[in-house]
Amino acid sequence: MGRIFLFIYHYRAFFTFLLLELFCSWLIIQNNQYQGARFFNSSNSFVAAVNGLSQDVHDYFMLREVNQVLAEENTKLRDEIERRNQLLQASGVTTDSAIIKRFDFVTAKVVNNSVDHATNFVTINKGYEEGIKSGMAVLGPLGVVGKVKITSKHFSVVTSILNIDIMVSGLMKRTGYYGTIQWSGRSSDFIDFKYIPRHVKPVKGDTIVTSGYSGIFPEGILIGTIDEVTLREEAPFYDLKVKLAQDFRKLSYVSVIKSNLLNELDSLEMNIPKMKQ
């Protein structure tokens, strides 16, 4: 400790000069609009570069897991294509144009992601220049991620399903019953599945997927599996805890779904005449 004080004392003139230089720079930035703007633009660029470098390092160490996930996803896609081809051949139909025309997919990279707040968001590197719009659905390699909230030219902010303000229509595959997916604000690994009536009999391990009712998410996209089943006395609905298929702490790439028929659906439903009292 004595050596540190001796070093500071020995170079006291230099440290005094350095402090005065920093103080003068601060005065210039605070009292001159042009210099202040230049400083903050430079600092923002530096912070963005550091964040980008940090994300690149994180992505590098995640490459093995990302490749494994992509391989699993490709296997599922091949199985789904084969299954659809068999159905089309059996029905005598040679094209699946209705499904092809309904949705388009845009791949984007995650540049920011939060999981520890009550209202979490994901930022991706695609914006309205690529056709991304507010309200579009977003999927990860293993399941549902959320909905696009706002966009800029090159970026979009996505409301994560780990957000207490978002609800998604879900379907229990085994029973065919519909419910609502909503986060409780606690663990980032689990989400609640609500409004399943007490006569349904859900069991641990039941698969929960999107219902397709909103027109935003395609039907059958994986959300997770039931991990805990609770039925309180006299309660009309179960308390179901769902283990999310997508690990949001390992989210690197997502797909934005562009529903080509959503405007048609919304326009039709808006034109339904009101029923007379």
pLDDT per residue rounded down to tens, the chain (277 residues): 677 777 777 777 887 878 888 877 777 766 766 555 555 555 555 665 666 666 667 666 666 666 666 656 665 665 566 555 555 554 444 444 454 456 778 888 899 999 999 999 999 999 999 999 999 999 988 889 999 999 999 999 999 999 999 999 999 999 999 999 999 999 999 999 999 999 999 999 999 999 988 667 888 889 999 999 999 988 999 999 999 999 999 888 888 988 776 666 556 666 666 544 3
Q: Hey, what are 275's tokens? A: 């029923």
Tell me, what's the pLDDT at 223? 95
Half-sphere exposure of 241 (CA within 13 A, CB side): 11
CB 204 within 8 A of CB 229: yes
Q: Hey, what are 239's tokens? A: 């308390």
Can you spell out the DSSP letters for 206-260? Answer: -EEEE--TTSSSPTT-EEEEEEEEE--TT-SB-EEEEEESS-GGG--EEEEEEET
Residue the block writes with tokens 């230099």:
14
Closest CA to 179 of 265, 231, 237, 228: 237
Tell me, what's the pLDDT at 141? 85
Alpha-helical regions (H) of 62-166? 63-91, 97-102
Closest CA to 172 of 203, 128, 132, 146: 203
Name the fold adopted by 168-250.
Answer: Thrombin, subunit H (2.40.10)
Residue 116 CA to residue 123 CA, distance in Å, equals 15
Tell me, what's the pLDDT at 61? 66
